[in-house]
Structure 1
Amino acid sequence: MKPKNKLAIFKSILKAKKIGKYALLMLFFATSYASVIPPNFTTKEIKFVSEGNSLSGTIFTPNNIQAAVVIVHGSGQEKRSINFATLLANNGIAVLTYDKRGVGESGGLYAGPEVGTNNVDFSNLNLLSLDASAAVNTLAKSLSNNKIPIGLIGASQAGWIIPLTAEKNKEVKFMTIFSGALITVKEQLRFQFYTNGDKKFWETHSEEEARKHVFNDPDKYEFVDTNPNDILSKLSIPGLWIYGGKDIQVPANLSIENLDKLKLKGKNYEHKLFPSLGHNTAFSDSEEPMNDAINWMKNITKLKNQK
């Protein structure tokens, strides 16, 4: 090897070592700096009892609490929503999130098609609402300021469970629901079977065609139905519903129409429609739906505290 080439290689090695030392130094400073930044919230593992079963969860307590919520599950075997709770807590919202009954560290039996049982029969939705109600009571006891209103937040199937919970527990002061159906459970299933998971459904079908199936299709399953409109007509707390215009699990326009009927009766219910979004409005590529929900909850809390 020529001396000139050896010198070039030697210089390259020295340069690499300097870069490595610099990177390590930066990593050290970054780690040290992060370690002295206090978190915006604290967490506490908890257990509470609902209908004879012990449920496990986590309470997130921000340093400056501006609102408080219990996260209500959608369908499926859902554990506590740590990422969701962290997002809310970083925005000043105290949170209780827990493992659904029969899932994770929570006792009880999980109901769902994965295990051969019906999770949308009224008996199961009602049981899950009792769990959410027990969670509300647990969160209320953990708050040092009893003037902070507690609400419920959730998506999809939670749209049926949240009103049932609010009807049972007067501690619930507001509702925030992403993609919740304001039609009966059976009607929602008819719509879901009709769309059949086709992401381009709304490109080939009209609103009129969809409604025809919702109201006239034969039911594939028989179970005790739930009509959220009956329950919502009895409640006097504010609520916000957020929908995606391309939803193929919940008919957004029909749900909004029913919501408007309730508003005409004096209910303090609001809605926002994002035409380009689908069923997953809460955690879509757009941050706007979640930001709108957070700002709405904070504003509701301020208004209630001023009374």
Structure 2
Amino acid sequence: MKNHCCLIAAVLFVVMTGNAQMGTVTKSKVLSDSTRLMTRMILPEKPLKKKPPVLVIVHGSGNQGSWNTYIPMISRFSAQGFAVVFFDKRGTGDSEGVYEEVTAENSEDVFERLSNDVVSVSAWAKKQARIDTARVGLLAYSEGGWVAPLALSKSDDLKFAAILSGPLCTVGQELLFTELQQKAEEVPEITLDSIYKSLADFTGKAGFDSRPLVESMETPGFWLFGGKDQSMAVDFSKAQLAELMKKSPEIPIRFKVYPNANHSLYDAETKERMPYAEDIRDWVLECMYE
């Protein structure tokens, strides 16, 4: 998505995430809507449980959705004992199909296709040996925060979702946020407060909105945000989650904010990595095993 929050830091995030040693890698071409997706499952060297829970990665935006770009992220979670499933995003790497830039106008159609890909790959994952087939979940980053709730609504195979720096607003609102953030660099009158007011008053083309799907979620969801994220509307998104949780306390969702973290969940000043992988591991142990 041009100038979109999720494009800005997607490559930075996966490059900086870590270089832990990966375990056994199984490759396959998975069919999704007649499109073949190059898919890999990575079994950890030290499983979290005897049969490890599974994280299916849901890409951030941009056309950098191929294996080499995501190896550090995969390694980080493999080191936490998860089996990790990754597929080259359609139109990138060794997957077929056409990569599509997301706009407010086409977002519903594009996310429909991307969520179908996630569901197809998740169904393939559940058939693999040596994994915990009852604990297959999603690990979504940035733009993937829109795709993941849609995929959850389509599949009984998916039991949880962890979402890193994922928006809880419409695509149109997120595009407006990015536009105003860029203008604020040259126009001092544009403050963060005025930007959030503009989001609340937004009447333009909305595009895809995951909030109704989140409101009806029955599977556990965990959102992690950076308090100094300048690439997405964090305060707006966490307020939406808090409102949903207050309105429907039975929804099994929660969120966490790392106050000094950026969109990539690194300290904005020291560049120290936030413990998001460890926090997700602990959350999965709590909500999936206790």
Both proteins in one fold, TM over 0.5: yes
Matched, 1:296 2:283: yes
Matched, 1:92 2:74: no
Matched, 1:175 2:161: yes
Matched, 1:150 2:127: no
Q: Aligned to 1:196, what secondary structure does the other structure show? A: helix
2:101 is aligned to 112
Matched, 1:250 2:236: no
Shift of residue 268 of structure 1?
A: 1.3
Aligned-partner Cα distance in 2 for 1:293–1:229? 22
Cα distance change of structure 1 residues 205 and 242 upon mapping to structure 2, 3 Å threshold = farther
If the length of structure 1 is used for normalisation, what is the TM-score? 0.76
Q: Which has the larger radius of gyration?
A: 1
2:71 is aligned to 82
For the Cα contact (< 8 Å) 1:194–1:213, is it kept in 2? no
Cα distance change of structure 1 residues 191 and 118 upon mapping to structure 2, 3 Å threshold = closer
Cα distance change of structure 1 residues 141 and 75 upon mapping to structure 2, 3 Å threshold = same
Q: Deviations over 1:229-273 (max 9, x none)?
A: 111112111111111112222211111111112212021111111
Cα distance change of structure 1 residues 48 and 75 upon mapping to structure 2, 3 Å threshold = same
Identity of aligned residues (%): 24
In the alignment of these two chains, the number of paired residues is: 258
1:211 is aligned to 196
Q: Deviations over 1:150-201 (max 9, x none)?
A: 1101211000000000000111111100111111111111111110186899
Q: Show structure 2 runs of 5+ residues with no match.
A: 1-20
Shift of residue 217 of structure 1?
A: 5.0
Q: Aligned to 2:28, what secondary structure does the other structure show? A: strand
Q: Which amino acid aligns with 1:296?
A: W
Higher RCO (CA-CA < 8 Å; seq separation 6+): 2
Q: Show structure 1 runs of 5+ residues with no match.
A: 1-38
Q: Quick check: which one's helix share is greater? A: 1
Aligned-partner Cα distance in 2 for 1:206–1:198? 7
If the length of structure 2 is used for normalisation, what is the TM-score? 0.80
Q: Aligned to 1:271, what secondary structure does the other structure show? A: strand
Cα distance change of structure 1 residues 118 and 41 upon mapping to structure 2, 3 Å threshold = same
Aligned-partner Cα distance in 2 for 1:159–1:119? 18
Aligned-partner Cα distance in 1 for 2:219–2:146? 16
**CA RMSD of the aligned region, Å?**
2.6
